[in-house]
A and B are shown apart, each in its own frame.
Chain A
Amino acid sequence: MSRIYASHKQLVCPGQVLAIDLPGNTNCYREGREIIAAVKGQVRVQGKSLKLVPLAGPYIPKVGDVVIGVVIDLFNGRWLLDINSPYYCTMMGEEVSKNPLHEDLKSYFDIGDILSMRIAKVNEVNEPIGVKPWKLEGGCIINVNPRRVPRIVGKKKSMLNLLKEKTGSKIVVGQNGRIWVKGGRMEITIDAIKTIERFAPTSGLTDRIAKLLDAHLRGEK
């Protein structure tokens, strides 16, 4: 018989027993029948299932993620990018040219350029390959805790659409905790994103941010 010991929205430490006889879970580990938290985080209980949302931790590349990377090196026919993760991302020259070995890759992306791209492949030691690069020019990059990015995007992108609508900024959210903001009321956007990051574990965040944005916009008129 399965049983859940933790309550909804409870904050837990590593080593705390959350439940018995439930299927395995990310951020948890199994020992016999027990499901034990492996990281500090917040428990979400939905009916008979349980999820542990971590509050901190490194970004590990996952297929399908959009990430923002900085070019750190050029090789024959490929680039190496830093994606705010323990693992560097490789991007092939074929993404931009038909015969990258006979062309100067610097003319496309040079060291220090900032790109957004999608992770197409991750191998067994977590090394990713990026595709579909898009050079980000101007604007600024905000670094946030990668584990709190889901709150910045919101359910069905609700939070992101709210931010874009109210401030008129262009925003690209990288799952790796880098957010590119350009145009519109940038200082307000940045303040809002920082607020979301800080209050990520609390509920009713979209309403709170809507109020904050309104107050900012009114105060400056």
Chain B
Amino acid sequence: MSTKEIPKLIDDKGIRIDGRKKDELRPISMEVGVLARADGSAYIEWGDNKVLAAVYGPRQLHPKFMQDPTKAILHFIYNMAPFSVDERKRPGPDRRSVEIGKVCAEALSNVVLLEKYPNTVIDVFVEILQADAGTRCVGLTAASLALADAGIPMKDLVAACAAGKIDGEIVLDLKKEEDNYGECDLPLAILPRKKEVVLLQMDGSLTKEEFQEAFDLALKGCLEIYEKQKQALLKSMEVSEDS
């Protein structure tokens, strides 16, 4: 058995390796409108994750044959910086980032009122500057803030958060070690007002009861994230007197 090599992720008192409780999020700070040249932007630090999102557009889509005269097209580019992980990541798109870009674009396409801007494209770029598990949730949260900052009409903000299973227990918001040595990871993105699910993935296995528990926990995390998103957005809208 190789169980001895795996570190103990959760102690007898239910405290995790970074001192959090089972249903506790990592510390989060959000900032909106960080890039001067982008139409909308946001920066999120979520534990050791550092993610920058930028929105350009709506703008003309080229090549022209890809245009859709009934609605705009949303492109989501997820990119990890080579220095974002322990071992240098080979730069450029790979299978994983293309896939994350696709699922996130589908999640956001359900929220943005694309039919208002026919024949155009909305480009969303998410740059992972530092990764520590759960980057697709951070990326999606940042992207929805950046879209709101750009003034693009949308039904609701998108709040995302992950839950998972480590050492046989369901916990909220996995960190890198927990993700690597844990049993399951369940990222979830919702529209907080009606609690509609726009992204749900599962890596690992859970029983039906465990899944329900993890889903409820992730939902609670998403609502917590949503409050922080609203605060960050309202803060960016206020006009300060000092120049």
Measured CB to CB, the residues of A under 8 A from B are 11, 13-15, 17, 27, 29, 36, 38-40, 42, 54-58, 60, 86-88, 124-126, 147, 198-199, 201-202
Q: Is the CB of B154 within 8 A of A38?
A: yes
Measured CB to CB, the residues of B under 8 A from A are 39-40, 57-60, 69, 113, 116-120, 148-157, 191-193, 229-230, 233-234, 237-239
In the complex the two chains form, what is the Cα distance from A109 to B153 in whole Å? 36
Q: Is the CB of A40 within 8 A of B237?
A: yes
In the complex the two chains form, what is the Cα distance from A157 to B184 in whole Å? 62
Using Cβ atoms and an 8 Å threshold, which residues of chain B touch A14? 148, 153-157
Using Cβ atoms and an 8 Å threshold, which residues of chain B touch A58? 39, 57-58, 117, 151-152
Seed contacts A27-B153, A56-B151, A60-B117; 14 additional CB < 8 Å A-B pairs: A11-B234, A15-B156, A15-B192, A15-B193, A29-B113, A39-B148, A40-B149, A54-B151, A56-B150, A58-B39, A58-B151, A86-B57, A86-B60, A125-B118
- A42 CB to closest chain B CB (Å) equals 8
Query: If A39-B151, A40-B151, A198-B239 touch, does A17 touch B193 (CB 8 Å cutoff)?
Result: yes
Query: Can you name the residue of chain B whose Cβ is closest to the Cβ of A146?
Result: B151
Using Cβ atoms and an 8 Å threshold, which residues of chain A touch B157? 13-15
- A68 CB to closest chain B CB (Å) equals 18
- B150 CB to closest chain A CB (Å) equals 6
Q: 8 A-B pairs, CB-CB below 8 angstroms? A: A11-B234, A13-B233, A15-B193, A17-B193, A55-B151, A57-B151, A58-B57, A60-B117
In the complex the two chains form, what is the Cα distance from A42 to B238 in whole Å? 10
Q: Is the CB of A147 within 8 A of B155?
A: no
Query: Can you name the residue of chain B whose Cβ is closest to the Cβ of A54?
Result: B151
In the complex the two chains form, what is the Cα distance from A27 to B58 in whole Å? 16
Q: Is the CB of A38 within 8 A of B155?
A: yes
Query: Can you name the residue of chain B whose Cβ is closest to the Cβ of A147?
Result: B151
- A152 CB to closest chain B CB (Å) equals 16
Using Cβ atoms and an 8 Å threshold, which residues of chain A touch B192? 15
In the complex the two chains form, what is the Cα distance from A125 to B239 in whole Å? 35
- A206 CB to closest chain B CB (Å) equals 16
Q: Is the CB of A202 within 8 A of B59?
A: no
In the complex the two chains form, what is the Cα distance from A142 to B118 in whole Å? 28
Using Cβ atoms and an 8 Å threshold, which residues of chain A touch B155? 14-15, 29, 36, 38
Query: Can you name the residue of chain A whose Cβ is closest to the Cβ of B33?
Result: A56
- A164 CB to closest chain B CB (Å) equals 25
In the complex the two chains form, what is the Cα distance from A124 to B69 in whole Å? 9
In the complex the two chains form, what is the Cα distance from A203 to B120 in whole Å? 35
Query: Can you name the residue of chain B whose Cβ is closest to the Cβ of A34?
Result: B193
Q: Is the CB of B58 within 8 A of A13?
A: no
Query: If A17-B193, A57-B150 touch, does A38 touch B233 (CB 8 Å cutoff)?
Result: no
Query: Can you name the residue of chain A whose Cβ is closest to the Cβ of B240?
Result: A198
Query: Can you name the residue of chain A whose Cβ is closest to the Cβ of B156?
Result: A15
Query: If A11-B237, A17-B193 touch, does A39 touch B57 (CB 8 Å cutoff)?
Result: no
In the complex the two chains form, what is the Cα distance from A38 to B193 in whole Å? 13
- B112 CB to closest chain A CB (Å) equals 9
- B129 CB to closest chain A CB (Å) equals 25
Using Cβ atoms and an 8 Å threshold, which residues of chain B touch A57? 150-153
